[in-house]
Amino acid sequence: MATCLHNKILIIEDDQGISNFLKTTVTAAGYDTIIAGDGKTALQMVTSHCPDCILLDLGLPDMDGSTIIQSVRSWTHTPIIVISARSMEEDKAAALDNGADDYITKPFGTVELLARIRTALRHTRTMSENGEIRQNGSYHIGELEIDYKKMRVLRNGNDVHLTPNEFRIVALLGKHAGRVMTYKSILRELWGPAASLDNKILRVHMASIRRKIEPNPNEPRYIFTEVGVGYRMAENEENKE
């Protein structure tokens, strides 16, 4: 088996302009790239090239992006970052629930794209577990600390007094820091597969959480809303490479 010095990124995109932009950006950052312009080629390349990360445009000429996600997920955990148009929020949530790891919305900048790729690659290596939590039983970001053992959240060292449900939401987002979690996946994770998929309950909890943990609840620094999709907790800067 050939050894690779660089992480290899598979770009699945039929728009030549966008795929050129992606290739240039990703190559400049030191990754190797391979490109597929349609779904059939893409699936062949996943098996023959074993990419470390996949960038996937949902709108391909021959295949629905969700078909590709399901097919890839049936046999590998290779991270998939969906590239989608701004108007397709429901598709983004469905893609994540189908097994995609993250998404990025067109138009996007190079900094954002590379940050998402780094996060996706890091989560593969740590098998989706947050390394800081496993090591210390806690997660730090800015002036915030999630203490998993004592089940509490501290801001500047002071307990912010979350309710048990609020703590569970923050704890879950902290475990997946840097990645978006859909409303559906949060509800299912916390309240089981039979959970009502009413997002309203999450929005109510989140408003209360933000009043307690955010310096300015209207401009969150710790938990971001991904409109129409879910929430994403910020990553600890020190963990970034």
Q: State the residues that interact with Ca ion by CB under 5 A.
A: 14, 57, 59
Q: How far apart are CA 141 and CA 155, in angstroms?
A: 10
Q: Concatenate the DSSP letters of all residues of 91-122 into one string.
A: HHHHHHHTT--EEEEES--HHHHHHHHHHHHH
Q: What angle do CA 122, 123, 129 make, to 5 degrees?
A: 130
**For Ca ion, which is the closer residue by CB, 80 or 170?**
80
Both structure tokens of 21: 């932009």
Give the nearest distance from C-beta 81 to Ca ion in angstroms: 15
Give the nearest distance from C-beta 58 to Ca ion in angstroms: 7
Give the nearest distance from C-beta 235 to Ca ion in angstroms: 29
Going by C-beta distance under 8 Å and a sequence separation of 6 or more, which residues neighbour residue 195? Answer: 187, 188
**For Ca ion, which is the closer residue by CB, 57 or 226?**
57
- The residue written with tokens 């996060």 in the block is 119
Give the nearest distance from C-beta 59 to Ca ion in angstroms: 4
CA dist 175 to 24, 50, 108, 166, Å? Answer: 32, 27, 26, 14
**For Ca ion, which is the closer residue by CB, 12 or 206?**
12
Give the nearest distance from C-beta 15 to Ca ion in angstroms: 5
Helix (H, G, I), strand (E, B), or coil: what is residue 84? Answer: strand
Give the nearest distance from C-beta 57 to Ca ion in angstroms: 4
User: Closest residue to Ca ion, Cβ-based?
Assistant: 59
Q: What angle do CA 156, 233, 228 make, to 5 degrees?
A: 135
**For Ca ion, which is the closer residue by CB, 57 or 145?**
57
**For Ca ion, which is the closer residue by CB, 57 or 166?**
57
Q: What angle do CA 57, 61, 66 make, to 5 degrees?
A: 50
Peptide bond into 107 cis (omega under 30): yes
CA atoms within 13 A on the CB side of 117: 28
**For Ca ion, which is the closer residue by CB, 61 or 164?**
61
Give the nearest distance from C-beta 121 to Ca ion in angstroms: 24
**For Ca ion, which is the closer residue by CB, 14 or 89?**
14
